[in-house]
Structure 1
Amino acid sequence: MNIHAPPSLLELASQSLLRDKALAIAALEDLPMELFPPLFTMAFAGRHREAVKAIVQAWPFTCLPLRALLKEQRLHRETLHAVFDGLDILLALNVRPRRWKLEVLDLRKHAHQNLWSIWSGSRTPGFSLMEPGTAHPMNRRQKVEDSRVEEKQPLAPLEVLLDLYLKEDTPDEFLSYIIKKVKERKEVLYLCCNKLKIFAMPIQNIRKILNVVQLKSIQNVEVNCTWKLSTLGRFAPYLGQMVNLHSLFLSHIHKSSEMSLEKQKQYINQFTSQFFHLHHLRVLHLDSVSFLKGRLDQVLRCLNTPLEILSITNCLLLESDLMHLSLCPMVSQLTSLSLSGVSLTNLSPGPLKVLLETVSATLQLLDLDECGIMDSQFTVLFPALGRCSQLTVLSFSGNPISLAVLENLLTLAVGLSKLSHVQYPAPLESYDDTDGTPHPGRLAQLHARLRQMLQEAGRPSMIWSRANACPRCGDRIFYDPGPLLCPCCMPV
């Protein structure tokens, strides 16, 4: 039998008010602030349109975190319209009621916020659209109240926060409605976005949406779909206006074989030149970006500020690209570096060694998975790796190295006091000559040997796990401590 907790006094008071719509609306003028959140939540859940409109018009906090307040409840279309209908009335009058302090309407799905700190007057960080040196709206309002000026003051623009996940050919009903309302009140309603993720949508539709968004509010951009170089060129001008961008993830940008070299150069210049405007960029992920080969320096020299995280994965690079990377001052303070899937087999390890030496005081994560690094190359990198005093995670699965090099690496690793997790490939000696797959018995012996070495070195808590590509499907098989077979290798 389920025993439900009795409703709190706040909930009981809210329920009582909502039974009489006229009383509830009349009571808002003198209602204690702590009653507004539960009252609004119940009014929204119960689809009390008029009550919702009235509560929004009297909201005494700077932020209305709509989805966080509603938790698992759905944003009912009619009741959402009631929220904007209430705002419409105020925005049309262009005056601020006595108790109304709303500055931010937060519609983000996955916002985990300390609601009481927001309600007490703290702004959501990172979304101010004011220029440096401009007084904060709360400060302006406080001065108005302190000086006992007339209650009704002109409205400042209201920010509507919404993370954008563009997955369909056209915007969904919810996004279309928000865009419509912002267009209607573009002088007083600002559509702001912290996260922009593009999975699939025609570029013309993306541009229509971005034309409505306050681009300087965007801090994180992820383009995780297949784009032609010409599409990237059309997106580039918008990227350059995202002046507060902190993180950029770009994947699967392909050059057309039919495109002239002149056109390719034009689009690449359009993209790379935007980095001059991104003074807050700290995280850059480039995955399967075809134009990087021989042109990485063009991206690097446009960077304005030092990066903290750099990931260049599944790209073709020349030795000259690595040389430019090792000498670039904007990567000298990296905490995370990934070159996973970048073939280094036929390249000199010298530039990578220089880069590791440069970032040795700051680097915490190093990912060299599937780079084709040979024994001789690893041996060159050992001294630089030994200087990475802040390294906590090292991953180099999928590289054809010998047991001797692996044991030497373990000896080096135990000297790095902060290194806690190493992911390594099965050494060449563990492979079965008959089918080219690692032999489970040999792998078990290897794991036991490494654990013994860690015990003897006084580092038994350091995690060493193995990962290799499945010979059938290419997915990784992990071993810790024994092999976890890929599903495609398991008997039916």
Structure 2
Amino acid sequence: MSLQATPTLLQLAMQSLMRDEALAVSALQDLPIELFPPLFKDAFTHKRFNILRKMVQVWPFPCLPLGGLMKIKPPYLDILQAILDGIDALLDQNIHPSSYKLRVLDLRALHKDFWTVWAGDTTASCNPGAKCKRKPQRRGSKIITKPNSLKVFIDLFLKPRTLDTCLSYVFQWVRERKALLQFVCKKLKINTVGIQNIVKVLEVLDLDCVEEIEVCCTWKLSTLATFAPYLGQMKNLLTFILSRIHVPDSVTPEEKKQLVSQITSQFLNLQSLQDLSLDSICFLKGQMDQLFRCLEAPLEILSITDSQLSESDLKSLSQCPGIRQLKHLNLSGVILTDMNPEPLRVLLERVAPTLKTLDLENCMITDSQLNVLLPALSQCVQLIMFNYIRNPISVAVLERLLYHTSRLSCLSLEMYSTPWEIYGAQGASHHRRLDELREELSKTMMNLEHTRTVWFSVAPCLPRGGNQAI
């Protein structure tokens, strides 16, 4: 004989209400707030559309975290329609907002724990009993709020296929009520080249509220130029990730110059930008100065990877006003072999007081170039991580490099390629020297006040054009 748990008083009360829909609706005005989340969840699960419509209108919290309960998928369309119908009735009352509590409809997949804990539990990640506020923005960025408006929050991932029926319904619903709503998307990811559909989405969003944009598909340069004016309206943008922009052969140098100017000029408006990541971006080679002149807000993260840069680009980067507080610099995959190391040295000196991570993987920096950079590197007193993998380095220069980095008291992780000489004609003697280096390094680290990891890749990195035997 199986034993069943005795229902709680709360469960019994809910069961009684759900058996009589008319009673449940009439009781909502006097219902204790503790009953709202479990009753709403039960009505949601069993598709009690009328109860859902009425509950939205008397929802006792400023935030309805609907996204934590549902997925924006077609099977939920009828539930979504019922809830939005309830909000429509609320908006149509044309009364002062203080007469009702609901301020935010959150469609993001967040706050799932709200639906499983008591509404007053302050340990919940989103307590709709408290006002739903933005995280404080650094540098005093502000979001303009429409008076008496309901905020609808959503995160979007735009893919090549069209929006599904649920998202399409939400967009149409918002578009028809734009004067009464703020449609807020903090995180927008784009993986489609269909700029017309992207523009339709952007024109509905409150662009002032966008905080993070990631473009992870191959756009043409002209597509990026079409997108740029919308980017310039995102005045509270914190993170911009851009990759693989394609320039067709049919684009003339004059057209390219004009398109680049249209794009880079918009960065003057991004006064809150903190994280800029550019991957496989070659259209700016020799023209990076146009971008760097427009980066006035102090960046924390700058990543330019697998891209082509010129010496003039590196020089303009070292003069960029936006790097004065840089904490993380990633230039991995930017081949620097044939460049004068002086601009990179100046760059490291400028960011030395604040820099915490430096990634120079696969830059093919030579020993002679590294010798120029060492004094600047030793000034990076806040450095925590240094990645120098896939750069050709000799045993002698590695010794010199480790001597400089040993003085950096915050450094906890260093990554290097094994010196190429280890596998050369003098392999045996150099292999012993590497073992000695490791032993000396271990003794040095024993005297440090914190743990430090020095990691060597197994495979060496040969100098360009090198003919060492492996």
Q: Does structure 1 conserve the Cα–Cα contact (< 8 Å) formed by 2:353 and 2:382?
A: yes
Query: SS in structure 2 opposite 1:80?
Result: helix
- Matched to 2:55, the amino acid is I
Distance 1:404 1:9 in 2: 77
Deviations, residues 336-377 of structure 1 (Å, cap 9, x unaligned): 001111111011111111111111111001000110101111
Cα-to-partner distance string for 1:268-318 (whole Å, 9 max, x where unaligned): 111111111111111111111122211111001112311111111111111
Question: Which residue identity does 2:85 align to in structure 1?
Answer: D
Residues 18, 322 of structure 1: CA spacing in aligned structure 2 closer, same or farther, 3 A cutoff? same
Distance 1:289 1:399, change over 3 A: same
Residue aligning to 1:66: 66
Q: List gaps (5 residues or longer) in structure 1.
A: 138-155, 434-438, 472-492
Query: Aligned partners of 1:228, 1:462: CA distance in 2, in Å?
Result: 44
CA distance in 2, matches of 1:162, 1:228: 27
Pick the aligned partner of 1:124 from 127, 133, 145: 133
1:355 paired with 2:347, answer yes
Q: What is the SS of the residue equivalent to 1:312?
A: strand
Residue in structure 1 matching 2:453, options 432, 440, 463:
463
Contact 1:60/1:99 (<8 A) preserved:
no
- 1:19-30 matches, within 5 Å, as 19-30=19-30
C-alpha distance in structure 2 between counterparts of 1:36 and 1:167, whole Å: 36
Q: Which residue of 1 aligns with 2:93?
A: 93
Check the 8 A contact 1:62/1:118 in 2, yes or no. no
* Sequence identity (%): 46
- Inter-CA distance 112–399: structure 2 relative to 1 (3 Å threshold): farther
CA distance in 2, matches of 1:262, 1:111: 51
Distance 2:204 2:252 in 1: 33
Report the AA paired with residue 384 of structure 2.
Answer: T
More deviation, 295-304/402-411: 402-411
TM-score (ref. length: structure 1):
0.82
Q: Could you say which residue in structure 1 is the equivalent of 2:216? A: 224
SS at match of 1:348: coil
Distance 2:124 2:4 in 1: 24
The equivalent of 2:116 in structure 1 is none
Corresponding position of 1:382:
374
Aligned residue identity for 1:462:
R
Q: Which residue of 1 aligns with 2:385?
A: 393
User: Which of 324, 329, 335 in structure 1 is aligned with 2:321?
Assistant: 329
Q: In the superposition, relative to structure 1, how do residues 351 and 92 fare at CA in structure 2: closer, same or farther (>3 Å)?
A: same
The C-alpha deviation readout for 1:14-33, integer Å capped at 9, x for no partner, is 34322321222112111122
- The residue type equivalent to 2:175 in the other structure is K
Match of 2:257 in 1: 265
Matching residue of 1:78:
78
Whether the 8 Å contact between 1:126 and 1:217 is mirrored in structure 2 is: no
Match status 1:207 vs 2:194: no
Q: SS at 2:54's partner residue?
A: helix
Q: Distance in 2 between matches of 1:413 and 1:446?
A: 17
Cα distance change on mapping 1:162 and 1:41 into 2, 3 Å: same
Deviation at 1:92, TM superposition (A): 2.5
Q: Taking CA–CA contacts closer than 8 Å with sequence separation of 6 or more, which of the two structures ends up with the larger relative contact order? A: 2
- The one-letter code matched in structure 2 to 1:46 is H
Residue 120 of structure 2: aligned partner = none
Paired with 2:63 and 2:295, the residues of 1 have a C-alpha distance of 35
> Where does structure 2 lack aligned partners over 5 or more consecutive residues?
114-122, 462-470
Instruction: Supply the distance in 2 between the matched residues of 1:392 and 1:265 (Cα, whole angstroms).
Output: 39
> Which of 307, 312, 320 is matched with 2:299 structurally?
307
Q: Does 1:161 align with 2:148?
A: no
Name the CA distance, whole Å, in 2 between partners of 1:209 and 1:311. 28
CA distance in 1, matches of 2:281, 2:315: 19
Question: Secondary structure of the residue that 1:310 maps to in structure 2?
Answer: strand
Which whole-Å CA distance do the structure 2 matches of 1:178 and 1:407 have between them?
61
Q: Which residue of 2 aligns with 1:290?
A: 282
- Give secondary structure in 1 for the equivalent of 2:294: coil
- In structure 2, what is the equivalent of residue 483 of structure 1? none
Query: Secondary structure, in 3 states, of the residue corresponding to 2:276?
Result: strand
Kindly provide the amino acid, as one letter, of the partner of residue 50 in structure 2.
E
- Does residue 191 (structure 1) correspond to residue 200 (structure 2)? The answer is no
CA gap 1:256/1:116 in 2 versus in 1, 3 angstroms = closer
In 1, distance between residues paired with 2:388 and 2:144? 49
**Counterparts of 1:407-446 in structure 2 under 5 Å?**
407-431=399-423, 446=434
1:81, distance to aligned residue in structure 2 (A): 1.4
Q: Secondary structure at the match of 2:290?
A: helix
| Aligned residue type for 2:133 | T
Residue 177 (structure 1) aligned with residue 165 (structure 2): no
1:339 aligns with 2:331: yes
1:402 is aligned to 2:394: yes
1:443 Cα deviation from its structure 2 partner: 8.2
Task: Indicate conservation of the 8 Å contact 1:170/1:201, yes or no.
Answer: no
Counting only pairs closer than 5 Å after superposition, residues 2-151 of structure 1 correspond to structure 2 as 9-69=9-69, 76-95=76-95, 100-110=100-110, 115=124, 118-125=127-134
Q: Go from structure 1 to structure 2 and tell me whether the alpha carbon gap of 1:448 and 1:202 turns closer, same or farther (over 3 Å shift).
A: farther
Instruction: Check the 8 A contact 1:454/1:462 in 2, yes or no.
Output: no
Instruction: Say which is worse superposed, 201-210 or 410-419, in terms of deviation.
Output: 410-419
Tell me if structure 2 keeps the 8 A contact 1:67–1:75: no
Look up the equivalent residue of 2:455 and give its one-letter code.
Answer: S
Number of aligned pairs? 445
> Secondary structure, in 3 states, of the residue corresponding to 1:291?
coil
Aligned-pair CA distance for 1:40: 1.3
8 Å Cα contact 1:169-1:202 kept in structure 2: no
CA change 1:25–1:456 in 2 (3 A) is same
Contact 2:143-2:209 within 8 A present in 1 as well = no
Cα distance, 1:83–1:331 mapped onto 2, change above 3 Å? same
Q: Which residue identity is paired with 1:58?
A: V
Match for residue 454 of structure 1 among 442, 462, 467:
442
Q: Is the 8 A contact 2:111 2:124 kept in 1?
A: no
SS of 1:181's equivalent in the other structure is: helix
Residues 6 and 120 (structure 1), Cα distance of their counterparts in 2 relative to 1, 3 Å cut: same
SS at structure 2 position matched to 1:196: strand
343 and 49 in structure 1: CA distance in 2 versus 1, 3 angstrom threshold: same
Residue 34 of structure 1 and its aligned partner are, at CA, apart by 2.2
Letter in 2 for 1:373: I
Q: Is the 8 A contact 2:72 2:167 kept in 1?
A: no
Kindly tell me: are residues 273 and 97 of structure 1, through their superposed partners in 2, closer, same or farther at Cα, counting changes over 3 Å? Answer: closer
Q: Distance in 2 between matches of 1:318 and 1:221?
A: 27
For the residue of structure 2 that corresponds to 1:272, the secondary structure is helix
Instruction: Calculate the TM-score normalised by the size of structure 2.
Output: 0.86
